[in-house]
Chains A and B, each alone.
Chain A
Amino acid sequence: GQQVMQIPQYQHVQEGEDFTTYCNSSTTLSNIQWYKQRPGGHPVFLIQLVKSGEVKKQKRLTFQFGEAKKNSSLHITATQTTDVGTYFCAGPHRDDKIIFGKGTRLHILP
């Protein structure tokens, strides 16, 4: 069945360093969403990408959707302690289901 794979599972970075998480699908996606879950919190919607090759920015966060619409990435420039959390990508499956990746847990070292 369709899967949405995320790598890496964990990432430790020094504060101020950049961070990237990747999301790969076994099938073409009509769209992809990204969510962030702070420790002890609930997932919060960040962004949705729909177009092939789309790039969107939110301050220090850059989201990309691959040309083939099978992969996506989230890049954070100059990480801060507020960036700590788990980042999930989510892609559509049949019957309106949304499949979430297992997430990338970001730890920031001060």
Chain B
Amino acid sequence: DSGVTQTPKHLITATGQRVTLRCSPRSGDLSVYWYQQSLDQGLQFLIQYYNGEERAKGNILERFSAQQFPDLHSELNLSSLELGDSALYFCASSVATGARNTQYFGPGTRLTVL
């Protein structure tokens, strides 16, 4: 158990819908990262927050947005969903920001868009 929690574990929805994925980082971690993992596509970095502020942005679509709240939990909002958005979405956390920090991954949310 990494200490990072993600809800829900599974999500099935239809095209055009909007969903929100939730992540609670490890106690004491200030950074939260979001990744998308599609079949055979590795881990695609989406976005990072550090202590409530956006820190780094990856290949995140405009239909996707995220935020980190004062209690440091984070939400990833996915809207106008398309079939291709079906994937495993991981949240990770680290103590600080910077590439030398170990990232602790949550169990992931599996999103299926029908």
CB within 8 Å of B: which residues of A?
9, 30-31, 33, 35, 41-45, 48, 50, 88, 91-93, 95-103
> Chain B binding site: helix, strand, loop or mixed by DSSP?
loop
CB within 8 Å of A: which residues of B?
2, 33, 35, 40-43, 45, 48, 55-58, 90, 92, 97-100, 102-108
Bound together, the chains give a CA A59 to CA B40 distance in angstroms of 29
* Cross-chain contact of B2 among A44, A48, A50, A92 (Cβ < 8 A): A44
Contact of A42 with B48 in the complex, beta carbons under 8 Å: no
Contact of B108 with A42 in the complex, beta carbons under 8 Å: yes
| Minimum Cβ distance to chain A for residue B74 (Å) | 16
With contact pairs A31-B100, A100-B42, A102-B41 given, residues A95 and B105 touching in the complex (Cβ less than 8 Å): no
When distances are taken between beta carbons in the complex, the residues of chain B under 8 Å from A9 are 40
When distances are taken between beta carbons in the complex, the residues of chain B under 8 Å from A98 are 33, 45, 99, 103
Bound together, the chains give a CA A79 to CA B108 distance in angstroms of 27
Bound together, the chains give a CA A35 to CA B40 distance in angstroms of 16
* Cross-chain contact of A43 among B40, B57, B99, B105 (Cβ < 8 A): B105
Q: Pick 13 A–B contacts, CB within 8 A, sort by A.
A: A35-B105, A41-B107, A42-B2, A42-B105, A43-B90, A43-B92, A45-B103, A93-B99, A95-B56, A96-B55, A96-B99, A102-B40, A102-B42
When distances are taken between beta carbons in the complex, the residues of chain A under 8 Å from B92 are 43
Bound together, the chains give a CA A42 to CA B88 distance in angstroms of 10
* Cross-chain contact of B99 among A92, A101, A102 (Cβ < 8 A): A92
With contact pairs A42-B90, A97-B56 given, residues A48 and B42 touching in the complex (Cβ less than 8 Å): no
Contact of A97 with B100 in the complex, beta carbons under 8 Å: no
| Minimum Cβ distance to chain B for residue A99 (Å) | 7
Contact of A31 with B99 in the complex, beta carbons under 8 Å: yes
Bound together, the chains give a CA A10 to CA B97 distance in angstroms of 32
Chain B: which residue is nearest A103 at the CB level? B42
With contact pairs A96-B55, A100-B45, A103-B42 given, residues A42 and B106 touching in the complex (Cβ less than 8 Å): yes
When distances are taken between beta carbons in the complex, the residues of chain A under 8 Å from B42 are 88, 100-103
